Amino acid sequence: MRLVFLGPPGAGKGTQAHVLSEEWGVPHLSTGDLLREERRQGTKLGKQAQDFMDRGELVPDQLIIEMMAERCRKPDCQKGYLLDGFPRTLSQAEALDKMLKQLGHELDAVIDLAVPEPEIIRRLSGRRVCPSCLRIYHQETMPPRVEGTCDDCGAKLVQREDDQPEVIRTRLRAYESQTAPLIAYYQERNLLHTVDGSIGVEHTRRQIQAQFGLSASQ
């Protein structure tokens, strides 16, 4: 099973990919996680990516594709993988197609998690982060034991700048403009499946499984 998860910030791409990765026994590949791991290990790709990030620049698509291709060649990816939030643009989708062809792989589907804007804002604006250990909380769904204080290290929790409601709206507009051509690209290839991502983790997971006639026991 090789899937791409699309959706706006806060739609639950990472959550669904993580849950289904464990159930289906295939890796969950997030570009952010891969970049952090390459940097931690001090690999050539990691050092190249760090150079761009240190200058405040986006990591080029080609470097991301090289990193993804290297990861997909590993033995644990031979039965499939779940791509979380990648590709994000049409050019990335085209580069991904070339990479898959070189590897002899094919996408089974692209899952687009649809969540209304008010729900996205509620999810993200309620998020709080520990600046010390980076643990994430949510005021409604996953609050700390003591309000405003990290359970693990006792640091004062903060709200990230990009989790402010007005910033979230700007991020959503940017996502929509970037992703509209990508949605059409996968629709034309009959790969796109839209799933309601606003009904809770469990129900959304069941919807995704139903698309492919799969269940946790299969």
User: pLDDT above 70 covers what percent of the chain?
Assistant: 97
pLDDT recorded at residue 193: 94
Q: Does residue 13 lie in a domain region?
A: yes
Residue numbers of the domain that contains 93: 2-116+170-211
Indicate which residues carry an active-site annotation: 13, 88, 127, 160, 171
Nearest alpha-carbon partner for 129 in 110, 102, 148, 108: 148
Return the minimum-mean-pLDDT range out of 38-42, 72-76, 119-123: 38-42
pLDDT digits (tens, 9 = 90+) for 184-200: 999 999 999 999 999 88
pLDDT recorded at residue 56: 66
Q: Does residue 145 lie in a domain region?
A: no
User: pLDDT above 90 covers what percent of the chain?
Assistant: 56
pTM: 0.82
- What is the domain count for the chain? 1
pLDDT recorded at residue 32: 80
pLDDT digits (tens, 9 = 90+) for 124-179: 999 999 998 878 899 988 899 999 999 999 999 999 888 999 999 998 998 888 88
The CATH number that applies at residue 21 is 3.40.50.300
- 215 pLDDT exceeds 90? no
pLDDT recorded at residue 216: 44
Q: Does residue 205 lie in a domain region?
A: yes
- 1 pLDDT exceeds 90? no
Q: Does residue 18 lie in a domain region?
A: yes
Q: Does residue 121 lie in a domain region?
A: no
- Residue 96 CA to residue 178 CA, distance in Å, equals 16
pLDDT classification of 113: cutoffs 50, 70, 90: very high
